[in-house]
Amino acid sequence: MTDRMCSVDSCSNPVKARGWCSTHHARWQRHGDPQARTTVEYGEPMRWLEAHVQHTGDECLIWPFAGNGNGYGQMRFNGKKGYPHRIICLLAHGSAPSGEHQAAHACGNRACVNPQHLRWLDQAGNEADKLAHNTHNRGERHPLARLTEADVRAIRALEGRMTHRAIAAKYGVGSAHICRVLKGGEWGWLDHG
């Protein structure tokens, strides 16, 4: 842990990188200036969306306002936090067929709000899109994954030769996790070959 403080005057947060705290470092990354601030006028994000509902270009239309840190835009809509891609899909294509439908990106770009790239899909369809665009986070790509594909294949090869508890100890996971891996509940999409 560092005891160095951010080099920006009047900031007493600890240093993250380049002599700045995480907030000032993020501003530098986003704007090229650690003290830059973007002030958005009330209602401006909604006006921007309404002005782009009829957008017909083929290129991605990138959300120019705040995001949620996972690549998706974020804004207030009807008094609640909302996703701009979902709101413009509603404005351009009407209501979702059901509450289970998601605004899916045909382009695979989370920050895109081009109405031509968005359509309503159920979760299975949206997950298939993520696989097609390689934007999924299953398997090793999941931030909480403790096993690799090679581990899973090796675990499956050990079935019947070692107890679940022994396999779990070898790979540093719980025996219930090993059971789910072996039954295909987790990593089920990975072939057993």
User: Would you say the C-alpha torsion 62, 90, 99, 132 has a positive or negative sign?
Assistant: negative
Tens-digit pLDDT profile for residues 55-69: 989 999 999 888 777
CATH topology of domain 44-136: Homing Intron 3 (I-Ppo) Encoded Endonuclease; Chain A (3.90.75)
Tens-digit pLDDT profile for residues 68-124: 777 888 998 888 889 999 999 999 999 999 999 999 999 989 899 999 999 999 988
Does 193 score more than 70 pLDDT? no
Tens-digit pLDDT profile for residues 179-188: 999 988 788 8
d(CA 126, CA 78): 25
